[in-house]
Amino acid sequence: MALRPIDNALPITPDNLRPKKHAKVSIQTQKRASEIGVNDENRAPLPQPVDAASVDYIASENLKPFQDPESSIQSLVEGLDSKDWVKVCESLNDVRRFSLYHCGLLLPVLEKVMLVVVKAMKNPRSALCKTSIMAASDIFDAFGEKLLDSADSSAFDQLLLQLLLKASQDKKFVCEEADKSLTALVNSIAPLPLLQKLHGFVSHGNLRVRAKAAVSISNSVSKMGSEEIKEFGLVLLLQTASDLLNDRLPEAREAARSIVFSVYKVVSENEKPNPEEAWQSFCETNLSTVQAQSMIKVVSSSQ
């Protein structure tokens, strides 16, 4: 029996034998093209990241005073609060200029400025972090012990902690700048009040922070006279040195030895006939037997 032709059937041609393309393939292709910006002149250009190298690290001696500091101080706080980190860097350099040349105008807003400096130190951008550390150094040089005069010294405590942390990290150029700032701190604030702030950090959980605090304590103690050391506490310094002498980092151990010699000098200064005996008695009275022997050995090995 013959087959009947199907109504409306298309004639078989080579074109009808080719598989048809699905529309969604072309739609997806167009979408991908638009996502990567191919031939799209109407797309807004992506913002270009600011190169950290464009931030200037200006030495303190190269900073200039303001021509009109009274009007400039009004815009300083606004600049420090900016969400643009480059603008914050510029404002921190202005803080340095005020510290060096117009510190009286900066004093009323100093606590807020210090909190901004702390916040900037915590920022992951190394350029902003380093600029804030440089600002801290100039603030120390300008204000010294005035930083401790306020009833609420938490801003200074936070600043000190951040400096110790930054001096302990792996980014060399940030670490070196923080070390300079800690040196500026030791040189600008009297040893006794600074020791009272630093002492709490020698038991910090971060061994690098302990080491940096130990170095700053050692540098402060080396500037103190006998009466100041006695006022802070000979026994407290001896026990601190004893703890640090067994620390894991050589930097902490070397600082501990320096502290030991400072304490030994005070203990033995009025014991001309037998200074070693006075030192031995002092150590054995205030330390365990093992600790005392370590302290005695530090001094005897240097003689």
Tell me: the pLDDT tens digits for 113-164? 999 999 999 999 999 999 999 999 999 999 998 888 764 578 899 999 999 9
Q: Diameter of the chain by CA atoms?
A: 139
Residue 39 domain-assigned (yes or no): no
Asked if residue 216 belongs to a domain, the reply is yes
In terms of residue numbers, what domain contains 212? 192-303
Do residues 241 and 147 share a domain? no
Question: Looking at the structure, do residues 184 and 202 belong to the same domain, yes or no?
Answer: no
Strands, E, within 25-64: which ranges? none
Where residue 54 falls among pLDDT bands split at 50, 70, 90? low
Q: Which of 147, 170, 189 is the last residue of a domain?
A: 189
Separation of alpha carbons 116 and 113, rounded Å = 5
* Res 26: pLDDT: 39
Residue with tokens 């040893």: 191
Do 203 and 125 have their domain in common? Answer: no
CATH of residue 231's domain is 1.25.40
Alpha carbon 254 to its chain centroid, in Å, reads 23
Q: Does the predicted TM-score (pTM) go above 0.75?
A: yes
* Residue 57 counted as domain residue: no
pLDDT tens by residue, 168-194:
988 899 999 999 999 999 999 999 999
